[in-house]
Amino acid sequence: MKAKTSSQESTIYRSFIISISLVIIFCLSGIFLFQAVKTRQLILNEYLIQARSLFNTIVLTRKWNAHYGGVYVEKKEGVASNPYLENPDIHTIDGKTYTKKNPALMTREISEYAEKEGLFKFHITSLQPLNPNNKPDEFEHEALRSFERGDKEKFQTSEVNKKTYFRYMAPLHVSGECLQCHEKQGYKIGDVRGGISVSFDIENIVNKLKSNYNFIILFSISMLFSILGLVYFFTGKLINQISKARQLIEKMAVTDGLTGIYNRRHLMIRFLEEFKRAKRLVRELGCIMIDIDHFKNINDQYGHLTGDEILKKVAVILGNAIRIYDILGRFGGEEFLIVLPDTDFENTRSLAERIRLNIRENAIENINLTISLGISSLRVEDESIDAMVKRADEGLYKAKYQGRDRVEWIDVQ
């Protein structure tokens, strides 16, 4: 029974530890996953803020250029005319030549400067570019199509030459200045004429983010093991305390608080088990009922504390007199009951006599005690333990009636 209880208890504790471990793992994983997603979202928002700022800057610059119908710069060495403009050059009376830089060309040249500095890159493009160099790539083509469907912007991260770039694109709408160059293409004011894509290197940030994720993972694992270790440690201590408390409760449930032997309830449970076993296997079974003589007088004369000590010491003497598998319990007050498995009547009587002499010959608390004993053995006609207890009890009263300090039984005709 104890092994079964212990096994069930271990299963419950194991399930508890596994459950609480899973809850901790789930909660911590959720917290760190949330933080990782939040961090990633914050960084993405920073990318978007930077990209939108760059986009708006170039759009304002283009508007300024378009407002003045383009900007003329001196055509020096290395400065080429825009082949896609009609009459882009003008000549001054002092012999100098100036060429027109329209918004698209200015955007491309600013992008080239920025790219050389390792800052960012612009690309103006459309689905109907005048300049083949402005032909959209796959990302830009998809973005331009989405702008026609009403999307306001498009962005993604891309890997180019083993480097990670953040790409952003927003539409360009046709204004009055735009029609100077693009009216022939059938555009109207308000149409999506194309878009400007912005690209900048985020490899360094990505690498730092990966390192941060690795740190978070290692930190999470360390914290997880630390917390689980603490949980196991304190849970183990708690389980030990609970186990001790359970054992104490179990002991209190089956033992007599004063003498430490079985109480009446558990005594009768064990008696019933042995009774059934003896009936099933056709084995002998003995029973001894014991009562301390004149115990009330002892309490009255010496006090209840002395009476309690006598009860405890009688229990010790009885326990030392029986076998390990015999059953001893306090039946009530100053009465004790002994159940003797595999013991016939003669051996039951013999043991009862030895116990009587042992108590008589050993003064307890300087008081010479005697006990009266009634015995019985299992009979074929016994249908319950009540019959055995009744015969032993009647034998006890017979011993009392005949002068105490003796062993008696009831003869059954």
pLDDT of residue 196: 86
- Selection from 5-14, 220-229, 284-293 with the highest mean pLDDT: 284-293
**Cα–Cα distance measured from residue 203 to residue 34, given in angstroms and rounded to the nearest whole number:** 23
Q: Does residue 182 register a pLDDT over 70?
A: no
Both tokens of residue 157?
A: 């991260």
Contacts for 149-155 with beta carbons within 8 Å, 24 or more apart?
Answer: 153/52, 155/47, 155/48, 155/51
Q: Are 84 and 126 in contact (CB under 8 A)?
A: no
| Helix or strand (DSSP H, E) at 18 | helix 2-67
Q: C-alpha 69: how far from its chain's center?
A: 69
**Cα–Cα distance measured from residue 74 to residue 89, given in angstroms and rounded to the nearest whole number:** 9
pLDDT of residue 317: 95
Q: Is 204 left (phi over 0), alpha (psi -120 to 50) or beta?
A: alpha
Q: Does residue 279 register a pLDDT over 90?
A: yes
Give the relative orientation of helices 304-321 and 345-361 as an angle to the nearest 10 degrees: 140
Mean pLDDT of 355-368: 90
pLDDT of residue 401: 95
Q: Does residue 42 register a pLDDT over 60?
A: yes
Q: Does residue 350 register a pLDDT over 90?
A: yes
pLDDT of residue 270: 95
Catalytic: 334? yes
Mean pLDDT of 33-50: 85
Q: Does residue 256 register a pLDDT over 60?
A: yes
291 strand-pairing partners: 335, 372
Tens digits of residue pLDDT in 84-117: 777 788 888 887 888 888 777 777 777 777 777 7
Number of H helices and E strands in the chain, helices first, is: 10, 12
Tens digits of residue pLDDT in 192-212: 678 888 888 888 888 887 888
Mean pLDDT of 7-30: 77
pLDDT of residue 262: 95
The number of residues in the chain equals 413
Mean pLDDT of the chain: 85
**Cα–Cα distance measured from residue 121 to residue 240, given in angstroms and rounded to the nearest whole number:** 68
| Helix or strand (DSSP H, E) at 121 | strand 121-125
For β-strands 121-125 and 192-201, DSSP reports them as: antiparallel
Q: Does residue 277 register a pLDDT over 60?
A: yes
Q: Is the pTM of this model over 0.75?
A: no
- Selection from 61-70, 180-189, 245-254, 350-359 with the highest mean pLDDT: 350-359
Lowest-pLDDT choice from 23-37, 317-331, 383-397: 23-37
pLDDT of residue 76: 83
Q: Does residue 186 register a pLDDT over 60?
A: no
Mean pLDDT of 338-345: 96
Lowest-pLDDT choice from 17-31, 37-51, 343-357, 389-403: 17-31
3-state secondary structure of 337: strand
Q: Does residue 177 register a pLDDT over 70?
A: no
pLDDT of residue 241: 85
Active-site pick, 86, 138, 140, 334: 334
pLDDT level of residue 400 (50, 70, 90 thresholds): very high
Q: Does residue 329 register a pLDDT over 60?
A: yes
pLDDT of residue 101: 80
Q: Are 337 and 355 in contact (CB under 8 A)?
A: no
* Spatial CA neighbour of 195 closest among 135, 244, 125: 125
pLDDT of residue 5: 59
pLDDT of residue 358: 94
Query: What burial class does residue 367 get, using C-beta atoms within 10 Å of its C-beta: 0-12 exposed, 13-18 middle, 19+ buried?
Result: middle
Q: Does residue 275 register a pLDDT over 90?
A: yes
The CATH architecture assigned to 264-409 reads 2-Layer Sandwich (3.30)
How many C-alpha atoms does 222 have within 13 Å on its Cβ side? 6
Q: Are 380 and 412 in contact (CB under 8 A)?
A: no
3-state secondary structure of 124: strand
pLDDT level of residue 335 (50, 70, 90 thresholds): very high
**Cα–Cα distance measured from residue 174 to residue 124, given in angstroms and rounded to the nearest whole number:** 14
Query: What burial class does residue 401 get, using C-beta atoms within 10 Å of its C-beta: 0-12 exposed, 13-18 middle, 19+ buried?
Result: exposed
Lowest-pLDDT choice from 55-64, 102-111, 182-191: 182-191
Domain ranges in the chain are: 264-409
Mean pLDDT of 336-364: 95
Q: Are 59 and 173 in contact (CB under 8 A)?
A: no
pLDDT level of residue 191 (50, 70, 90 thresholds): low
Q: Are 278 and 378 in contact (CB under 8 A)?
A: yes
**Cα–Cα distance measured from residue 107 to residue 198, given in angstroms and rounded to the nearest whole number:** 11
pLDDT of residue 346: 96
Q: C-alpha 347: how far from its chain's center?
A: 61
